[in-house]
């Protein structure tokens, strides 16, 4: 009986979510690491499997680590480039593209740097923490694409890919610990959330700020918030819809209801 009740509850929440999307003039998605886990990319904080379980982010992913010991920094990021470089979008990414293509989704704000939304074909994409798609030289400002950065890394005798112009250590175009978010994508994200009738929070713990504060902008402007992620979040009480199932299953179900 408990299983039947739980299944009915999920069906009710899914139906409510589909109705909210249909009724909304503007729907925006906010995605976190959980949407990429089905693509084989570990999240950061899950006990036992999270990326920060095996390395201290303050030692390998902080801006001071890059500045003080670029070789150690790149020993971590080189592995991360290799891990992320071959990953492909999953059904959750594709479902969002389908919703966007049907005019049911205005855009995606992502905390992820893995390029999977772009690879899936999302058109209106705000990569609020940057992307591994490129690297730049903090010394002179020149940049290179991911493929060229990986070639420079492979050829580097000291393990540090360097700018071919000035010789400075290249830095991935991602926001490291200790860095401020770039103002342009953050303001774009805030504007999207403030005008959204519905914000879909997908695969995010909603614990990292200022991104964790974006749903409050939607709610404060009179919009609804739906949270689709496994595990609790500090904003569960704000959610008009709360789904805790697999993100691929949930988003494919939503797209299947609305787009076919």
Query: Do 49 and 69 belong together in one domain?
Result: yes
Q: What is the CATH number of the domain that holds 247?
A: 3.40.50.1220
Q: Which of 117, 129, 188, 209 is catalytic?
A: 129
Query: Do 28 and 137 belong together in one domain?
Result: no
Residue finishing a domain among 111, 140, 174: 174
Query: Do 253 and 168 belong together in one domain?
Result: no
Residue finishing a domain among 118, 141, 174: 174
Pick from 91, 125, 51: nearest CA to 254: 91
Q: How far apart are CA 17 and CA 7, in angstroms?
A: 15
Query: Do 31 and 48 belong together in one domain?
Result: no
CA distances from 254 to 4, 97, 181, 209 (A): 21, 12, 31, 28
- Enclosing domain of residue 209: 13-41+89-129+180-260
Q: How far apart are CA 98 and CA 188, in angstroms?
A: 22
How many domains would you assign to the chain?
Answer: 2
Residue finishing a domain among 174, 201, 231: 174
pLDDT band at 77 (very low <50, low <70, confident <90, very high): confident
Query: Do 148 and 258 belong together in one domain?
Result: no
Which range among 9-13, 77-81, 200-204, 227-231 shows the weakest confidence by mean pLDDT? 77-81
Q: What is the CATH number of the domain that holds 138?
A: 3.30.1600.10
Supply the pTM of this predicted model. 0.91
Active-site residue flag, 117: no
Query: Do 219 and 243 belong together in one domain?
Result: yes
Task: Please check whether residue 247 lies inside any domain of the structure.
Answer: yes
Query: Do 124 and 218 belong together in one domain?
Result: yes
Task: Please check whether residue 17 lies inside any domain of the structure.
Answer: yes
Residue range 94-150, pLDDT digits in tens = 999 999 999 999 999 999 999 999 999 999 999 999 999 999 999 999 999 988 998
pLDDT of residue 83: 76
Residue range 165-184, pLDDT digits in tens = 999 999 999 999 899 999 99
């Amino acid at each position: 009986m408990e299983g039947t009740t739980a299944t009915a509850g999920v069906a009710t929440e899914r139906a409510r979510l589909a109705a909210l999307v249909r009724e909304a003039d503007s729907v925006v998605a906010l995605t976190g690491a959980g949407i990429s886990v089905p693509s084989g990319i570990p999240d950061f904080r899950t006990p036992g499997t999270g990326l920060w379980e095996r390395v201290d982010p303050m030692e390998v992913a902080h801006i001071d680590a890059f500045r003080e010991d670029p070789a150690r920094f790149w020993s971590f990021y080189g592995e991360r480039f290799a891990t992320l470089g071959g990953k492909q979008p999953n059904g959750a990414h594709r479902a969002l593209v389908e919703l966007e293509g049907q005019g049911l989704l205005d855009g995606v704000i992502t905390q992820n740097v893995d390029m999977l939304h772009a690879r899936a074909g999302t058109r209106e994409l705000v990569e609020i923490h940057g992307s591994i798609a490129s690297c730049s030289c903090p010394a002179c400002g020149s940049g290179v694409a991911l493929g060229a950065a990986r070639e420079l890394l492979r050829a580097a005798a000291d393990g540090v890919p360097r700018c071919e112009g000035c010789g400075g250590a290249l830095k991935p175009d991602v926001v490291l610990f200790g860095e401020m978010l770039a103002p342009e994508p953050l303001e774009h994200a805030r504007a999207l959330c403030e005008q959204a009738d519905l914000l879909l929070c997908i695969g995010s713990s909603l614990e990292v700020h200022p991104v964790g504060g974006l749903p409050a902008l939607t709610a404060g402007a009179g919009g609804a918030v739906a949270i689709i992620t496994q595990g609790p979040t500090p904003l569960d009480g704000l959610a008009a819809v709360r789904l805790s199932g697999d993100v691929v299953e949930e988003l494919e179900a939503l797209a299947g209801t609305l787009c076919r």
